[in-house]
Amino acid sequence: MKSFRSSAATQVTANIAGVQKFELSDSDFRRLRDLVYAKTGIALTDAKRELVYGRLARRLRKLQVKSFAEYCDLVESGDPLELQELTNAITTNLTSFFRENHHFEQLARDILPEVERQRAATRRIRVWSAGCSTGEEPYSIAVILRECLGHLRDWDVKLLATDIDSKVLAAAADGRYPGERFRGMAPQRLKYFPPCDEEHEFRGASDELKSLATFKRLNLLDPWPMKGPFDIVFCRNVIIYFDKATQRTLFERMAALQEPGSWLFIGHSENLFNVTDRYRLVSRTMYQRV
């Protein structure tokens, strides 16, 4: 962890004309960093200082709080609503439909047929999208489930989608997106996202997709209410925000919810080296529970 110097050079302020300015001192940033880490496990480095300022300054103005020190006092007082607002502000939600598409191709081609054979006796399949953001990932998974398992009419197939950010989770559950988000999607898949208006400016996830998915808020540091077992887990672009110790704890808990042979997908900038031996690498960022 970098050391913090108490100097004007390390103080972040807004320089937009007519907008109220705040000083984010070293001690204020340390307090925010420690709060976020304690409550979410997200490790904010000094490189995130500008981002923290930009996102929280708007919150200070809305609350008419005079300083970051005063804002830290408010959050440290234990106000659960403000802690949620802080979490929503600092989490990054960058996603798209069928992002890292090779995961979905292998899911359809190899993994789901194998899972179908393995679960023939129970006729039960469970998938978890951890860190689902605004819903593009779980709805992409749901499309693949419908395409590959639509013939299993009497099977119990369910998709759990979770995120720590209450605002993006609400958007995911709503399932409506600007039409431009579907550019590049295979035409045959657009049927799963019918237009919400005559101009096709917005499309919404169909009832067929929504019937598969359950959206729930979940802080990965908190107790997990679900019991599993999960046949497939998507935990992509989530662990990059955690330090190694938190990652080790996370994947020990995740492995406990998966049986040997089950599947785990992580993001392209992530790996499990020196994190866990409960999973073996099968292909690029695709793992199997051992």
The three-state DSSP-derived secondary structure of the chain is CCCCCCCHHHCECCCCCCCCCCCECHHHHHHHHHHHHHHHCECCCHHHHHHHHHHHHHHHHHHCCCCHHHHHHHHHCCCHHHHHHHHHHHCCCCCCCCCCHHHHHHHHHHHHHHHHHHCCCCCEEEEEEECCCCCHHHHHHHHHHHHHHCCCCCCEEEEEEEECCHHHHHHHHHCEEEHHHHCCCCHHHHHHCCECCCCCCEEECCHHHHCCEEEEECCCCCCCCCCCCCCEEECCCCHHHECHHHHHHHHHHHHHCCCCCCEEECCCCCCCCCCCCCEEEEECCEEEEC
Q: Report how far residue 79's alpha carbon sits from residue 89's, in angstroms, rounded to the nearest whole number.
A: 16
Region of residue 237 (left: phi > 0; alpha: psi -120 to 50; beta: else): left
Instruction: Label residue 249 exposed, middle or buried (CB < 10 Å: 0-12, 13-18, 19+).
Output: middle
Considering 55, 181, 248, 278, which one is annotated as catalytic? 55
**Is 59 labeled as catalytic in the residue annotation?**
no
A 10 A CB-CB count for 4 gives 15
Considering 49, 126, 146, 163, which one is annotated as catalytic? 163
Question: Could you tell me if 288 and 262 are in contact, meaning their C-beta atoms sit under 8 angstroms apart?
Answer: yes
**Is 55 labeled as catalytic in the residue annotation?**
yes
- Catalytic positions, written as ranges: 55, 163
